[in-house]
Amino acid sequence: VRKILNARVPIIKYNHECLDLEIDFSMNNLSGFYMSELLYIYGELDERVRPLVFCIRKWASSIGLTNSTSPGRWITNFPLTVLILFFLQTLQKPILPPFNLLIRSATPQDIRVTEDFINCTFLRDLKKLQFRTDNEDSVQILLKQFFEFYSNFNFHENGISLIEGRAVLKPDYSAMWITNPLEPPLNVSKNLSHEELEK
């Protein structure tokens, strides 16, 4: 168990040894809870999402791209997961819809606002979502396409937006800009250094 209390969102990290699963636990942040809900929903939309995410996260850990021991200048699992979801939104035949579609499809039962007035309203009932994919690529093909996509992505000028489901102009000189879907002014990869981006 490790305490990371000096982060923007203070968390307790712990490792479930039997499952070899690392878990972040936050007590006072409803937007974190709703972000977990959003990631769960994206994982439910297509059976290839979770295997691809776990494969890339395992790869990133094994080559030292991510560092689970402490926060720092490197990419963490959350921004890495957002990169994967964004890639799946931008395919010629998208596998995932932009977050805007989930926001526009929300019903009154989906309204959620945090204690600090962050609007976390988006569709929770996927049966009501007007999105289907005709992409039939295997996880193996998607893995190859993921690496090709980001080897050619212009991180110096463009940012990642799950909200739009397309690249956006970076608003600052951060090494990488990944818009927080629930708090759009925030960059979830702000800690990433230029050296780690190249890595």
Q: What is the pLDDT of residue 116?
A: 85
Confidence of residue 79 (pLDDT cuts 50, 70, 90): very high
Lowest mean per-residue pLDDT among 50-64, 67-81, 142-156:
67-81
Q: Is the pLDDT of residue 171 over 80?
A: yes
pTM for the complete prediction? 0.89
Query: How does residue 17 score in pLDDT terms, banded at 50, 70 and 90?
Result: confident
| Residue 180 near residue 78, CB atoms below 8 Å | no
What is the distance, to the nearest Å, from the Cα of residue 94 to the centroid of all Cα atoms in its chain?
16
pLDDT digits (tens, 9 = 90+) for 95-111: 999 999 999 999 999 99
* Cα–Cα nearest to 66, from 98, 22, 34: 22
pLDDT tens per residue across span 127-151:
999 999 999 999 999 999 999 999 9
Number of other residues whose CB lies within 10 A of the CB of residue 2: 14
State the pLDDT confidence band at 67, using cuts at 50, 70 and 90: confident
Distances (CA, A) of 179 to 8, 65, 79, 131: 15, 21, 9, 22
